[in-house]
Structure 1
Amino acid sequence: MDHAPAADTTARPTALRAGWRRRAVRIAIGLLTVIAAIWLVLFITKGRFLRHPFESIAGRLTHRTVTIGGDFQLYFAPWRIKFVAEKIAISNPDWASRPNLFTADRIDSRIAPLSLLFGKRRFTRLELTNGAVDLEWTPDHRANTWTFSAKKGGRPLEFPRIDVATVTGTTIRYRDPRMRVIADLALDDIRSRDARIGHAVGVRGKGVIRTTPFTLTAQLLSPDATANRGRNELIARMRAAGNVVDVAGTLPSISDVEKVPLTTRARGRDLSSLLDIIGVVIPRTRTYDLRAQLVKDGDVYRFTRMKGTFGDSDLAGKLTVTNGERLHLDSELATDKLDIIDAAPFIGYNPDIVASKGAQAAAAATGAGAQRLLPDAALPVATMQRFDAGLKWTIRTVRSRRVPISNVDLTLALDRGKLTLSPLRFAMARGDVASDLVFDTRPRPSRVTYDIRLSPTPLGRLLAGWGVAEAGTTGTVKGRVQLQGRGDTIHDSLASANGRMAFILPAGSLWTRNAQLAELDIGTFVQKMFEERLKEPVRINCGLVAFTVRGGVAAADPILIDTSKNVIIGRGGFSFRNEAIDMAIRADAKKFSLFSGQSPIGLTGSFAQPGIDPISGDLLARAGAGLGLAVVATPLAGVLAFVDVGDAKAAACGPVLSGARANAQRTSKGAPRQDVGNGTTAKSKDGRQTQSEAKAQRKKFLGIF
């Protein structure tokens, strides 16, 4: 009696558990029955009655309008989800330039159900006919058409895994307002079996970058791996404005190029035409071929390990392009050998014309006159104000027949239209040139400043390119050019320039042959020529060749060189406006000299065609007088017309070596010099000398002697 309640207590939990099991079995059977019924209904009806609910639900999930204009099927067949839609369209956001993100005549697919739950979408079969995809970014790159929530930002485009595919007639449109790129592409037809496509998949198309048309061909070399989310071996080639750009690399996904190293190669007739595509202006080049590694990181494109050639010159280094609010370029470049012809574009010359026809023809091609050398190529003002840049460029050697240049060190900065080359240094003939050049395009016309400094440089090496041997010449030259002008071309800025140019010759020596030719001391020159002592040096005590520039016209201020035997002085000048030269240089002997010409050498012509006129009117008059004396008196009397009594006043070297103006020059005894002018030239109102003005100036100059 006492144990009966315990038995009842044990039996109740067992009965309860059995009841729950029966209920669970009934519920499971009920669910399976419902699922089976749903499956059966869907299988029989092909799920066609779900078209409108599908459009509504898909539209809410994607925040887009989804429409199906033809047949629709959605059911299990038997274990995969079969989805069929004809005339399907998925709309674009309101801000897009086209109404639909995606349209297709027909989609027939099999989808693994579990892949929808775990986010790894897998199509076991896909047939796509005449699909059209529109991919577009917002101008600020914060959203794109294929990311269905603006809050998530613009995510990379992702593709599902596809086991078996038949894709025909697919087109893709890509638009990026920030980069100003529009591309219309066509995908080659794809037919795969058992998750193997079997050959490369190609893409071809055309488009516009900014205002430049281009064509594009690309191939996916590993489509089977891509279909299984493996390695994506991609190669692409773009042609634009006569340039060819090749890109190759392995992508983590078919559309993801972020932070992926890509091998690039660019080649063409002119590198400037390639960079002009993205709105960057550089001097034009000859044929180029460059290779680099490209890595895209957001709006930053880094080109590293750059190496190649342009013209007959080499180039290496790195370049970074930042496509932000303003386009910005940063580069560090190195050149081992720069051909002087490839340097011609930096002053506005076409290098191809320089190579084939010379500098004068290249100047004429810029719009300059037929007899001019200064280029009239205008600065690209509008383009220079649209992007910024920084450049550090070193050049070991410049190949030049005339002037040996090496160790070039260039630092460039472009900031909102102000281009600064500072410093620009290079070694020339064992001397150094340092300069600061500023081209400020913000004022109209541009304000241009030239400040060029030449450290002491051996004359022999400097003049060797013009046939002057170094042996016997120990003189040096140093100088500075400071000019400021207004204009959008080199010619215009110099034609309006004001400033000063001065070159100082400290003590040294020069070949006798060269010195005597310059001084026209015929007697000494002939004597030494017969004695074969042409390399005997002549001592230079000091010298100054300086010009004052006003309104583009340079006047000698002064030209004064004191040697052991003579004092060389010059008058006249030249014009940056019309590039005319009208100067006269004369040497007066300090001691008696027989057969001295004692008359100025005329420097005439233009920058392009300079001329030397050693037979001045004064010298012809001397010859006439000598001939008359020889006729009426004796032949010996004729010689007297060519005698220099040697009364030249030696120069005080202090003012000369300090680069002082003409009015500060003195004789060795401290008296003001009256023979070096005052830094003016005869000129018309516009600074251009007329023939009569030049003649009057020459007459006035000769009258001093």
Structure 2
Amino acid sequence: MADADPLRPDSPAQTVPHYRGVRHYVSGAHARWRKMPLPLRILLWIIGIIFALWLILFITKGRFLKHPFERFLTHRLERPVKVGGDFQLYFDPITLKFRAEKMAIANTPWASRREFFRADLIDSRIAPLSLLFGDKYKVRWLELRNAATDLEWNRDGKSNTWTFGDPNKKGKPLNLPLIRRALLAGATLRYRDPRMHLATDIGFETVKAHDTRFANDVRFSGTGTMRERPFILRGGLLSPDETVTGGRNSLALHAEAGATVLEVSGTLPGATEIEGADLRLAAHGPNLALLFDFLGVAIPETRSYRLTSALTKQGGEWRFTHLKGRFGDSDLAGRLTVSLPNDRLLMRADLSTRTLDILDVGPFIGYDPQKLERQGANGAISTVNGAPRILPDAPLRVEALRNFDARLTYNVRRVRAEHVPISNIGLTLALERSLLTMSPLTFDMSGGHVSSDIAIDARGHPVRSRYDIRLSPTPMGKLLARWGVEESGTSGTIKARVQMAGVGDTLHDSLSTSNGRIAVILPAGSMWTRNIQLSELDIGTFVTKMFSGKLKKPVQINCGLIAFTVRNGVAAADPIIIDTEKNVLLGRGGFSFRDESLDLAFRADGKKFSLFSGQSPVGLDGTFARPHIDVISPQLIARGGVGAALGIAASPLAGMLAFVDIGDAKSAACGPVLAGATAAAQRTRGGKSRDDVGHGTTAKEEAGKGVARENKDEKKKFMGTGVK
């Protein structure tokens, strides 16, 4: 059409082309676009490009990306990646859909299998932002058919098959993607860890769930071996129906290794999402150490146990809370956490026991728990070369100690034992890089208090152990009540200290190579006994007690020291001296941690003239497990024979001369005694060196040269023709 100019009637009408209006519109749009802020224009361009890419990918299903995907992943993982069938990669509509058929990822060169992963079909829905942000990929849906995964550590434990890149790169812990729901058919998982001696093969299948709240049930089962012991496991994971908002996966797991049974039940946020799980653990078996073997962790052996605990994972920690149960005849409660700071296993525990049965202590220090279960206290005794032994010889699991660190506090209210008056045990244990310390280890005993610091250094070979055990002043009446000491009338106390160091992987080996000192100090006090073995050993009171069964008044002790110097596992008396009101008790000999033999002799010399004081020694021999006391020694019998002969030949008065003690015993200076000094430092009350406590030979002797021989020779000299 043509329009006339209304302001100029004489002007002819002109024709306006149609495209002029379009051009005007485009020009206006372009002007408006240029007027927009630059950041906004950039943003719109980005959105437009993304939409175009989304549209292209949606229409083509991203199949053209198959070969670029293979090349990119091969370069990124430094392993060949191949997709043999259909390939799809696109947004649908927001989540990233990935589908691949006949996909395979090659394994690292040192692995025992050619392929790390293969599957006939992978179909998944992935949250795209999780690929860019966060440390875990989030998979909304995963379908795997005939898939096989190989998880394996190398022999030195430095590399694994799931840490991609350089095959010599340090292996990282397994970090599974967060999978909300899954459908598996013919999927298998293979795991190998030579360091833990662990091998397992697990199969997965998905079946339709019977509960309408759940879409499907992923069933799994498998077999394996752990430290040469076979185990089986089975269970199921119920995934919630997608119509259930906020649904949680329900887990049930049952595992058996011989008589050890482990059951886990509860809920998970996602199929592989453990963080925030709400689980319950129940375990029972013959030995708790067997259960911890699955973590590659060495704990003391125990008798049969049954435990329950709440279980969850928070902030990289596995938390076992509200733990309670029993081991043997003892109860246990507390909490335990397991974590991996700096890729090293760390266990922290705070445990308590109300009543600890004495038999349940045995496995902690190396006694066979099954033997204790069958034989009770007699299970602590073994036979070596025909002789009974009581020191445990179970080896410390040095290699297992190198796998983890630990922090433990353990408290025991009381110990159930007929003749062991122990209560209020407190233990603080730390294991760091194979250095195990129990500092302090404390407990109350018969009104006294024992405090210990023990260190076991397994960082080198052989293992080196240090012991420092201290007994605070303890009432003698309570401590020795089971041996016949009357608490009423006994005011004496005992204090002691043991300081030794040795090498060896067992308690027996450590003590049998040890060097150090043992000292028991008796300050001034009284002792009243109904047991003849604890008399002053004056023959007069001995005869009186033999017929009346009891002292008429307490023995008054001025001071006493029972001390041993230990060299190469052999302890020599250094010295044994107890100064009483009437007598001086002396002892010589020693004992050996090597063969657990005892070879001691004791004699009481009167300070005043006394009839019926035969100065006859008492011998203590045998072994730790079966000690033997010779109260009426051959020497006493010989003296009695002489007395009988004199009585017949002369008169009854002459017969008494055989039992006369002229009363020449030298009172002890109590200063060196109470200081726990060696024999060389002991003095009489007059300040002279004592010549009746070994002349200090034990202290001067070189370590390992004839200690046992000297002990035996000195005992023979001390006892004459006495105890063998």
Any residues of structure 2 matched to 1:207-606 within 5 Å, and which?
Answer: 207-208=224-225, 213-221=230-238, 223-224=240-241, 230-240=247-257, 242-297=259-314, 300-323=317-340, 324-357=342-375, 361-364=379-382, 370-514=387-531, 518-524=535-541, 526-527=543-544, 534=551, 536-606=553-623
- Partner AA of 1:570 in structure 2: G
**Distance (Å, rounded) in 2 between the aligned partners of 1:438 and 1:383:** 17
Deviations for 1:101-156, whole angstroms, at most 9, x for unmatched residues?
3423x89x999xxxxxxx99999xx998x6324275997899679xxxxxxx9874
Query: Distance in 2 between the 1:704 and 1:668 partners?
Result: 30
8 Å CA contact 2:672–2:681 kept in 1: the answer is yes
Residue 679 to residue 296, structure 1, CA distance change in 2 (3 Å): farther
Aligned to 2:37: none
CA distance in 2, matches of 1:381, 1:51: 56
Aligned to 1:132: 147
Q: Distance in 2 between matches of 1:537 and 1:9?
A: 143
Q: Is the 8 A contact 1:270 1:287 kept in 2?
A: yes
Distance 1:368 1:10 in 2: 125
Deviations 1:357-379 (A, max 9, x none): 366653537x7863222222222
Tell me the amino acid that sits aligned with residue 92 of structure 1. I
CA distance in 2, matches of 1:704, 1:627: 19
Deviation at 1:503, TM superposition (A): 0.8
Aligned position for 1:187: 204
Q: Which amino acid aligns with 2:644?
A: L
Contact 1:140 1:178 in 2 (8 A): no
Is the Cα–Cα contact under 8 Å of residues 577 and 688 in structure 1 kept in the other structure? no
Deviation at 1:626, TM superposition (A): 0.6
* Amino acid aligned to 1:322: S
Three-state SS of the structure 1 residue aligned to 2:297 is coil
Letter in 1 for 2:347: L
Q: Is the 8 A contact 2:84 2:101 kept in 1?
A: yes
Secondary structure of 1:190's counterpart equals strand
- Asked if the contact 2:588–2:714 (Cα under 8 Å) also holds between the matched residues in 1, the reply is no
1:269 and 1:516 mapped to 2: Cα distance?
42
Note if 1:206 corresponds to 2:223: yes
**Preserved CA contact (<8 Å) 2:486 2:527:** no
CA offset at residue 294 of structure 1? 2.7
CA distance in 2 between counterparts of 1:272 and 1:194 reads 38
1:99 to 2:115 alignment = yes
One-letter amino acid of the structure 1 residue matched with residue 525 of structure 2:
G
User: Does 2:666 match 1:649?
Assistant: yes
Tell whether 2:719 aligns with 1:702: yes
Q: Is the 8 A contact 2:84 2:103 kept in 1?
A: no
1:662 is aligned, of 665, 669, 679, to 679
Shift of 1:180: 8.2
* 1:512/1:536 contact within 8 Å kept: no
Is 1:621 the counterpart of 2:628? The answer is no
Residue 480 of structure 2 aligns to a residue whose secondary structure is helix
Tell me, in whole angstroms, the C-alpha distance in 2 between the residues paired with 1:73 and 1:590. 106
Alpha-carbon shift at residue 55 of structure 1 (Å) = 5.2
State how many pairs are aligned. Answer: 650
Deviation readout 1:252-298 (Å, 9 max, x if unpaired)? 11111124242222221111112123221122111112222333357
Q: TM-score, normalised by structure 1?
A: 0.78
Code of the residue aligned with 2:104 in structure 1: it is S
Equivalent residue runs for 1:79-158 within 5 Å: 88-92=101-105, 95=108, 97-99=113-115, 101-104=117-120, 131-134=146-149, 136=151, 156-157=176-177
Q: 1:287 to 1:482 in 2, by over 3 A?
A: same
Residue-by-residue CA offset, 1:13-67 (whole Å, 9 max, x unaligned)? 99969x99xxxxxxxxxxxxxxxxxxxxx9xxxx9xx998585577579768564
Shift of 1:329: 2.2
Which shifted more, 480-489 or 60-69? 60-69
Q: Is the 8 A contact 1:340 1:400 kept in 2?
A: yes
Where does the alignment leave 5 or more consecutive residues of structure 1 unmatched? 21-41, 75-82, 112-118, 146-152
Going from structure 1 to structure 2, the CA distance change for 1:570 and 1:381 (only over 3 Å counts) comes to same
SS at match of 1:678: coil
Percent identity reads: 50
**What is the CA deviation profile of residues 527-585 of structure 1, one whole-angstrom value per residue up to 9, with x for unaligned ones?**
47777864632211111111122222222111111112221111111122222211111
Determine if contact 1:229/1:253 at 8 Å carries over to the other structure. no
* Post-superposition offset of 1:195: 7.9
Q: Distance in 2 between matches of 1:572 and 1:488?
A: 28
| Structure 2 counterpart of 1:379, one-letter code | L
In 2, the alpha carbon distance for the partners of 1:634 and 1:194 equals: 107
CA distance in 1, matches of 2:210, 2:511: 73
**CA distance change for structure 1 residues 122 and 273 in 2, over 3 Å: closer, same or farther?**
closer
Secondary structure (helix, strand or coil) at the match of 1:205 reads: strand
Partner SS state of residue 371, structure 1: strand
**1:59-96, Cα deviation, whole Å (9 max, x unpaired):** 57976856456xx799xxxxxxxx9x9x9311226548
* Alignment check: 8 A CA contact 1:212 1:277 kept: no
RMSD in angstroms over aligned alpha carbons?
Answer: 4.7
Q: How far does residue 3 in structure 1 lie from its aligned partner after superposition? A: 4.6
Residues 634 and 721, structure 2, Cα contact 8 Å, conserved in 1? no
> 1:661 Cα deviation (Å)?
1.8
How many Å apart are 1:210 and its aligned residue? Answer: 7.2
Cα distance change, pair 410–614 in 1 and its aligned pair in 2 (3 A): same
Q: 1:310 to 1:4 in 2, by over 3 A?
A: farther
Q: Which has the larger displacement, 452-461 or 417-426?
A: 417-426
Q: Given that residues 360 and 370 in structure 1 are in contact (C-alpha distance below 8 angstroms), is that contact kept between their aligned partners in structure 2?
A: no
Distance 1:127 1:141, change over 3 A: closer
User: Which position in structure 1 is the counterpart of 2:33?
Assistant: none
Label 1:226 to 1:489 Cα distance change in 2 as closer, same or farther (>3 A).
farther
**Conserved in 1, the CA contact under 8 Å of 2:181 and 2:239?**
no
Stretches of structure 2 lacking an aligned partner (at least 5 in a row): 27-58, 75-79, 89-96, 126-136, 165-172
Contact 2:620 2:627 in 1 (8 A): yes
Q: 1:544–1:303: structure 2 CA closer, same or farther, 3 Å change rule?
A: same
Deviations 1:312-365 (A, max 9, x none): 112222222233433332222222222111111232211332354366653537
